[in-house]
Structure 1
Amino acid sequence: MNPVLASRLANIAPFHVMELAKMATELERQGRSIIHMGIGEPDFTAAPLVIEAAIRAMQDGRLQYTAATGIPALREAISEHYRRVYGLTVPASRIVITAGASAALLLACAALVEPGSEVLMPDPSYPCNRHFVAAFEGRAKLVPSGPAQRFQLSEAMVREHWSPATRGVLLASPSNPTGTSIAHDELARIVDAVREKQGFTIVDEIYQGLSYDGAPFSALSLGDDVIVINSFSKYFNMTGWRLGWLVLPEQLVPQVEKLAQNLFICASSVAQHAGVACFEPASIALFEERKAEFRRRRDYIVPALRELGFRVPVTPDGAFYVYADCTPLADDADRLTRDMLSEAGVVLVPGLDFGPATAHSYIRVSYATAYEKLEEAVARLHRYFGERK
């Protein structure tokens, strides 16, 4: 006898990015050469000092549970990082270490999302964000956002779509899938509008370290009531270590700590001890070199995509994604990406995961792979499109 499944599962859609990844793995098993430009995972790995710190932690036996909020050394290191990079005073007491940004978003939604309430977010946006809301029986209200808004929400859009059921907004800057950021003044206006409604503002900043144009800023500069998510996965190249953090208003920390104690106990102790080494000067220098390489890749792939016939209406200013309009080349993004995989051996992903507004007309390109592989992918796609004519 099969158990009766929870009705909330109907609100959780499958992740098409992973489906394409499985198709690519099967083709590789058959001997095909596949270039992966689908999943958003840096091709770099953890910095040497981080690996050394992990080894020391294991050798020293520092493998026990930590406090649910994380080890003091890591919380202090992150606090100092905000002071050094952004000129912000963020007390360590407001920082909660989490099992990746996913756990941070889960905890934030657990604390703030009521059953039946709405959370505004742009369409397109990272699919898991709306599923975190759905997991607590809220509803993500996707607001279509095009190139004119840099695929982001604006103050006007927030005011227009706020309803009596709305509890807050969930933003990402820079964004997955678009690689675009919200301008500082526009974000400030959004925060003010949400404050007027007595709602919450959550800003996912996991790609903030990979901002290429203009001076870096964090939404934390807009007030102590803004909730920020961050991660060691992208800028710090530690995807599989499952380590992130959450910056909260002081009064929310005990409530989130209570949730973390029950849902996670703590983030990986080894990952936490290793993470402290991310903030050593030698590690930061390495991450900055890698950031420069990501920017070099962006500056290659954007014009290359345009030459292939894709429209790139907004040049991405962060992360390692390009959101490209494929309508000049095909009328269905899903079919096109499957064809490019099977015929050219290049993994790109359709807009299906990121919201209905761009589901069939856009593809997401990840340039988190070696420059030489990007060049080979472009060459393959030139041949593919040439043969279709």
Structure 2
Amino acid sequence: MGTGIDRLTPALALAQRVEQVAPFHVMELAKQAARREREGHRVIHMGIGEPDFTAPDAVIEAATRAMRDGRTQYTNALGVTALREAIAGFYRDRYGLEVAPERIIVTAGASAALVLACAALVNPGDEVLMPDPCYPCNRHFVATFEGKPVLIPSGPAERFQLTAERIEAHWGKRTRGVLLASPSNPTGTSIEDDELARIVKTVRARGGFTVVDEIYQGLSYDGEPTSALSYGEDVLVVSSFSKYFNMTGWRLGWLVVPPSLVPAFEKLSQNLFICASAIAQHAATACFLPDTLAIYEARKEAFRARRDYVVPALERLGFKVPVMPDGAFYVYANADGVNHPAAGDSDALTQALLQEADVVLVPGMDFGFAEPRRYIRLSYATSLDSLHEAMGRIEKVFGRH
């Protein structure tokens, strides 16, 4: 008896944009590592940028109360009022900035915030400037809305960041704006305050938009960071509860936009996402309690200690760290000089270290097109003991070659 299904029917054709999205090597390596773990290997993960810390008890208790009290319905598309007010208070207390809660849009993670920003600001054919290297999804967000991401090679001399001079030199007739991250994934480097002020001024003079991803700013180790919101209400800032607040799987972030754009972003949020998770929003209000913030600051010091160990450890192994990371939990290291046959080819090297040392690192290929095979990205969002063990394993591998 037939099933009514023609098994010879060809697969449905995918939209062309799918072909434009490059594979995410960090996720592919994670899948390979998972297979090795199923085979009995103990793998040390320094690939995915996910804190090994989880939400503090106060946050979990707030989520439990929300569920118990039935506060699980859809929220306003802009977010729960109490949470938006708490975020505004955070900007006031941490940065000395008065940000109206009405400008804050709570989103389903920073990714949703960037999707909203691109949906609102990018027309087909518009060019958006960003540094090379940068977080790979950023260019895909732009391309999804038929914009053209323009990656500008940004090396150690620029702290792997865009500069006002580079933006001015690459600004063309189709350029619509810039998308930056400070501190950056994959490099852990920040844009210096004076340079960021010049960037905003340069873009503003050309009628463009400046979007700054600040999801790692809470994890800044050298000096007091300055939010890009300091440079005018026309700057859009993205942030998240994933990194500093240790809530990756809760999928919660926020976006600060100019007052005049709030209605447009609300309309887009209503249609694209309805709202962020109600439970996550109610839980996140507890992130800003004094005792909870004290926990986050102590954890930040733990990340700083890991950075201060792992950078010299990598250099002793023959890696070069051309710019000391001042934030996030990444090191972007040049692998040209390591003692391994795959030196100078970070894709081959990371594959070899997974197979020979059960250590996961990420090749620079994920992050752009400017000399990506020379660099690896290491995430130190794991315990200091694991970092010590990983460096020891790599040293043994290099010693055999």
TM range (shorter): over 0.9
1:328 and 2:337 matched? yes
Corresponding residue of 2:388: 375
Q: How far does residue 331 in structure 1 lie from its aligned partner after superposition? A: 2.1
Residue type of the partner of 1:372?
A: D
**Deviations along 1:176-235, whole A, 9 cap, x unmatched?**
000000000000000000001100000000000000001121000000000000000000
Alignment root-mean-square deviation, CA: 0.5
Cα distance in 2, alignment partners of residues 147 and 265 from structure 1: 42
Match of residue 189 from structure 2: 180
The whole-number CA distance in structure 2 between the counterparts of 1:47 and 1:237 is: 8
Secondary structure of 2:370's counterpart equals helix
Q: What does 1:46-61 correspond to in 2, within 5 Å?
A: 46-61=55-70
Correspondence list, 1:251-262, <5 A:
251-262=260-271
Whether 1:42 and 2:51 are equivalent positions in the alignment is yes
Tell whether 2:273 aligns with 1:264.
yes
Deviation at 1:8, TM superposition (A): 1.5
Q: How many angstroms apart in 1 are the aligned matches of 2:130 and 2:173? A: 16
Residues 58-73 of structure 1 aligned to structure 2 (within 5 Å): 58-73=67-82
CA shift for structure 1 position 9: 1.6
2:161 is the alignment partner of 1:152:
yes
For 2:326, the aligned partner's letter is: D
Residues 124, 358 of structure 1: 8 Å contact kept: no
Q: Which residue of 2 aligns with 1:168?
A: 177
Partner Cα distance (2:210, 2:216) in 1: 17
The alignment partner of 1:206 has SS state of coil
Measure the CA separation in 2 of the matches of 1:88 and 1:254. Answer: 23
* Aligned amino acid, residue 181 of structure 1: S
Q: C-alpha deviations, 1:133-161, integer Å up to 9, x for none?
A: 01101011000000000000001000001
TM-score w.r.t. the length of structure 1 is 0.99
**Matched residue count:** 388
Instruction: Please state whether the residue corresponding to 1:324 is helix, strand or coil.
Output: strand
What corresponds to 1:313 in structure 2? 322
Q: Which amino acid aligns with 2:375?
A: Y
Q: Which residue of 2 aligns with 1:358?
A: 371
CA distance in 2, matches of 1:116, 1:180: 30
Q: Which of residues 100, 104, 108 in structure 1 aligns to 2:109? A: 100
More divergent stretch after superposition (299-308 vs 324-333)? 324-333
1:129 aligns with 2:138: yes
Bigger shift: residues 351-360 or 17-26: 351-360
Q: Which residue of 2 aligns with 1:12?
A: 21
Q: What is the match of residue 96 of structure 2?
A: 87
Partners of 2:315 and 2:132 in 1: CA distance: 23
Deviation, structure 1 residue 263: 0.6
Whole-Å Cα distance in 1 between the matches of residues 355 and 293 of structure 2? Answer: 39
Q: How does 1:206-225 map to 2 (within 5 A)?
A: 206-225=215-234
Paired with 1:17 and 1:252, the residues of 2 have a C-alpha distance of: 35
| Residue identity matched to 2:253 | G
Identity over aligned residues, as a percent? 66
Bigger radius of gyration: 2
Partner amino acid for 1:374?
Answer: L
| SS in structure 2 of the partner of residue 97 of structure 1 | strand
Does residue 344 of the first structure (1) align with residue 350 of the second (2)? no
SS in 1 for 2:12: coil
Q: Structure 2: where are the runs of 5+ without partners?
A: 1-9
The gaps in structure 1 that reach 5 residues or longer are: none
Secondary structure class of the residue paired with 1:360: helix
Superposed displacement of residue 109, structure 1: 0.3
Task: Report the Cα offset of residue 273 of structure 1.
Answer: 0.1
Aligned residue type for 1:167:
R
CA distance in structure 2 between the partners assigned to 1:217 and 1:114 by the alignment: 30
Does residue 197 in structure 1 map to residue 224 in structure 2?
no
Q: Is the partner of 2:373 in helix, strand or coil?
A: coil
Structure-2 separation of matches of 1:305 and 1:254: 49
- The answer to whether 1:120 aligns with 2:129 is yes
Question: Is the contact between residue 109 and residue 133 of structure 1 (CA under 8 Å) also seen in structure 2?
Answer: yes
Give how far 1:374 is off: 0.2
Q: What does residue 29 of structure 1 align with? A: 38
